[in-house]
Amino acid sequence: MSVHDTFTQYVMPTYGRFPLVPEKAEGSWLWDDQGNKYLDFCTGIAVCSIGHCHPRLVTAIQQQASKLMHCSNLYEIPQQAELAKTIVENFVKIPGKVFFSNSGAEANEGLIKLARKFGNSKPSTDGTPRPEVITFRNSFHGRTMATLTATGQDAIQKGFAPILPGINYAIYNDLDSVKAQITDKTAAILLEPIQGEGGIFSATAEFLNGLAALCKDHDLLLMLDEVQAGFGRLGHDMAWRAIAPDVQPDAISWAKGMGGGFPVGAFWVSDRAISDGVTLSSQLGPRTHGSTYGGNPLACAASLAVLAEIKEAKLNDNVIAREQQIRATLAEWNHPAIKELRGKGLMLGFALEPSAIKTAEGVTPALALVLKLTEKGMLTVPAGAETLRWLPALNVSQQEVEHALALLKEALDELAA
């Protein structure tokens, strides 16, 4: 039975899959079972942040796996303590505490629970709790019931009613639309610094600064979903600092790139006081939240290796240099099929001109280009119908980016309508 036939018979059809069977990978390159080699600018959707099978990550996992993989959060796991300290001291650089999960959706579930708890601890003036959270149209926060509700996309919520009560949607980069949603029941605002799945749309600095001011005025939590954009992806340790460095968030979620391919997620909560002697990070106390796997020794050892590599190899600098390389080349091309390049760092979206791309019936311009690039030996991802997304490894080389750009040009020329 072929892999394809086995898939069709036994695996749930939740994904539209490309007919490619991956076998092995190294750095920015991936091989399929036919021996074809691909330049990987998908990286498992922004997960393999230090490249595939980086020796530092492989060694960390092997060593920890042979020593202790899992115990329980009933004990003081030293790798978890070390990882939390690294995240707070070297990356967030604002006093706070970390909770570890296994995925981005779980991390965001934690943020939504934090908002509810905060809204109970600090009710509205008439004493009723403030259970509501504002999220944004076109956002993506995950697939669990709470996070698909936070995700402001009808297509993702369709068929799953009743969704979680208490989530209200505003329009991204539109401060007035946020003001219109604030009531005496609102406790928090949750957003991505760059909307990833929604098509690579960046928040403006004015918008993030404006949200921070609104949160201060109305005693709301400012919660950032950096699941895709965090830990170096934007050429900055923290995604929001690449956009509006003066903002002081109350809570941040991560997953994807922080494990480099090992499943791990986390959220950080500020130590700031929310009332006399009570800190925000103490809101989720004993018996309020938990995870069996979250923060186990193996996951934390993997993430520690990834974060150490991001720092020591100065990957932020490479991310910024490669973005500049890509932008300079695009400016030279002035290609009729590319309307603009959105995003920041190595989270980039090529906005395509649909009339300049030949597509088969029922295929979006972004998908047509992804398929053409796959044929040419390069893996990429669509973001919506008309945006091609590049999410290469943070240590992708200048030559690899040059090669990627050459393939993109060829593909666009061959698809020219």
Ligand X SMILES: *Cc1c(COP(=O)(O)O)cnc(C)c1O
Interface mask toward ligand X for 47-66; x: CB under 6 A: --------------------
Q: Which is nearer to ligand X, 226 or 309 (CB)?
A: 226
Indicate which single residue of 109, 132, 197, 309 sits in contact with ligand X (rule: CB under 6 A).
Answer: 197
381 binds ligand X (CB under 6 A): no
Indicate which single residue of 141, 322, 372, 389 sits in contact with ligand X (rule: CB under 6 A).
Answer: 141
Label residues 86-122 b or e (16+ Cβ within 10 Å = b).
bbbeebbeeebbbbbbbbbbbbbbbbbbbbbbbbebb
Give the range of 137-145, 162-170, 243-251, 343-351 binding ligand X by CB under 6 A. 137-145
Label residues 42-61 b or e (16+ Cβ within 10 Å = b).
bbbebbbbbbbebeebeebb
Select the residue whose beta carbon is closest to ligand X and give its number: 104
Indicate which single residue of 255, 351, 357, 383 sits in contact with ligand X (rule: CB under 6 A).
Answer: 255
140 binds ligand X (CB under 6 A): yes
Q: Is the peptide bond before 19 cis (omega within 30 degrees of 0)?
A: no
Indicate which single residue of 49, 80, 103, 202 sits in contact with ligand X (rule: CB under 6 A).
Answer: 103
Taking the complex as a whole, how short is the minimal distance between the CB of residue 238 and ligand X, in angstroms? 14
Sign of CA dihedral 305, 307, 313, 315: positive
The DSSP bridge partners found for residue 388 are 350, 382
CA distance 44 to 256: 9
Residue 29 CB coordination number (10 Å): 17
Residue 35 CB coordination number (10 Å): 7
Taking the complex as a whole, how short is the minimal distance between the CB of residue 187 and ligand X, in angstroms? 20
105 binds ligand X (CB under 6 A): yes
231 binds ligand X (CB under 6 A): no
Query: Do 42 and 252 form a contact (C-beta atoms < 8 A)?
Result: no
Indicate which single residue of 51, 196, 345, 384 sits in contact with ligand X (rule: CB under 6 A).
Answer: 196
C-alpha radius of gyration, the chain, whole number: 22
386 binds ligand X (CB under 6 A): no
Q: Which is nearer to ligand X, 226 or 386 (CB)?
A: 226
SS (H, E, C) 70-139: CCCCCCCCHHHHHHHHHHHHHHHCCCEEEEEECCHHHHHHHHHHHHHHHHHHCCCCCCCCCCEEEEEECC
Taking the complex as a whole, how short is the minimal distance between the CB of residue 117 and ligand X, in angstroms? 21
104 binds ligand X (CB under 6 A): yes
239 binds ligand X (CB under 6 A): no
Give the range of 4-12, 19-27, 124-132, 138-146 binding ligand X by CB under 6 A. 138-146
**Interface residue list for ligand X (CB under 6 A):** 103-105, 108, 140-142, 192, 196-197, 225, 227-228, 255-256
